[in-house]
Amino acid sequence: MNAHAPAPGSAVPTVMHVDMDAFYASVEIRRRPELRGRPVVVGALGARGVVLSATYDVRAHGVHAGQPVGRARRLCPQAVFLPPDHAEYARVSAGVMEILRSTTPVVEPLALDEAFLDLGGSLRRLGGDPEQVAAAIRARVADEQGITCSVGIAGTKFVAKLAGATVKPDGQRLVRDEDAVAFLHPLPVDRLWGVGERTEAVLTRLGLHTVGDIAHTPPATLCRALGQAAGRNLHALAWGRDERPVVPSEPERSMGAEETFPADVDDPEAVRRTLLRLATRTGSRLRAAGLAGRTVSIKVRFSDFTTLTRSKTLREATDVGQEIYATACALHAGLGLERARLRLVGVRMEQLVDGDRPRQLVLGERARGWADVERAADAVRHRFGGHALAPASLLGGTPPPAPRPRR
């Protein structure tokens, strides 16, 4: 008899949550083996930069995602701090998602580094044992992508996600329906979806410290304290009830990047240089995902945190960074902000389509040009690292003048 076989009459859980362990940091260590065993933090390295990912030994010092990099340096000065390479993370993520979709077509990515799977229609073909399926996924991710992941398996998305979180890094855990309440009730209240600092403070004032405390509190009490929707949702989750199905992913609706300046900027050249960097990064991410976009959007945030966005839809979709840059510059110039003090700028591509579709040339446009240059640059960066090649103006030179955008 299979040692993992369920007890007679118990349902086999089919919802799986797969989460890459310290994803950005793991990808950096994969291509820099000399960093293995050392504490690594990935994040924007300016004074206003934030942590995107950190290895687990760094987290033990209190470093976490979303934290200012300056604070992370004070908490763990011995860590290696690296800037992010989003194009490389997109490539690795695409490889991981391909592994997941080869297991079951019902895959719902949540981000580059995690996804829900529903094995219901595929489990018999896969051998009938979800734990063996999880082990196979973990082995393939490690073998093909050189990183590790943790897997939770349960009857609902909520419990599956929590199950995987208890065995990170590089572990797996199955929680059967009949064991879900016993698994959930000892956990602290902040493990429930929707419980942030403010909600946790309200629950603490009510004397509710564990998921079990919430489960045994009348829903009416929770609703009075938190509102009807939040109160009823937390009570249901505390009993392991989560009706949301795993929804296969729809195509990404947008892709882009933004950057917060270390200090407010009113230099047009500095803004154009940043737009070029963001457009180059966005084009690279689009190509890595096999996508192109028709609408270029920019975001600017002033020193007083007021934010403006502007967008322009092109006649043809593009994944070429120079074309994205040209349109972004035109949008920025149209704002008339030559000497405005800016805190942040961003570039985003929307109306995404398949990047392999044929493109109609504009009269007088060369059939080969920036698209080929940027794809060659992609190949160099893929082999030698994300910072091996960049436009000269991003290495300290004067940014190019705003080019004429393609209409």
Domains in the chain with CATH codes: 23-87 (3.40.1170.60), 185-238 (1.10.150.20), 254-395 (3.30.1490.100)
More confident residue, 11 or 240: 240
Kindly report, residue by residue over 154-202, the tens digit of the pLDDT.
999 999 999 999 999 999 999 999 999 999 999 999 999 888 888 999 9
Q: Does the pLDDT at position 239 exceed 60?
A: yes
Cβ neighbors of 394 (< 8 A, separation 6 or more) are 273, 276, 277, 280
The Cα–Cα gap between 290 and 45 comes to 29
Which SS3 state, helix, strand or coil, does residue 261 take?
strand
pLDDT of residue 357: 57
pLDDT of residue 307: 84
CA end-to-end span of the chain, whole Å?
67
More confident residue, 391 or 176: 176
pLDDT of residue 259: 85
Kindly report, residue by residue over 283-309, the tens digit of the pLDDT.
988 887 788 999 999 999 888 778 899
Known catalytic residues are: 114
Handedness of CA 375, 275, 290, 102 (dihedral sign): positive
- The reply to whether 113 sits in an annotated binding site is yes
pLDDT of residue 255: 86
pLDDT of residue 253: 74
pLDDT of residue 382: 55
Residue 179: count of CB within 10 angstroms of its CB: 15
- The reply to whether 19 sits in an annotated binding site is yes
Beta strands in 90-221, from DSSP E residues, in sequence order? 107-111, 114-118, 149-154, 172-174
Beta strands in 37-147, from DSSP E residues, in sequence order? 40-43, 51-54, 80-82, 107-111, 114-118
Q: Does the pLDDT at position 394 exceed 60?
A: no
pLDDT of residue 327: 96
| Bridge partners of residue 51, in order along the sequence | 43
What are the Cα distances from residue 338, in Å, to 230, 258, 264?
A: 46, 19, 13
Q: Does the pLDDT at position 9 exceed 50?
A: no
Kindly report, residue by residue over 296-349, the tens digit of the pLDDT.
999 998 887 788 999 999 999 999 999 999 999 999 999 987 778 898 899 999
Q: Does the pLDDT at position 402 exceed 50?
A: yes
Q: Does the pLDDT at position 1 exceed 50?
A: no
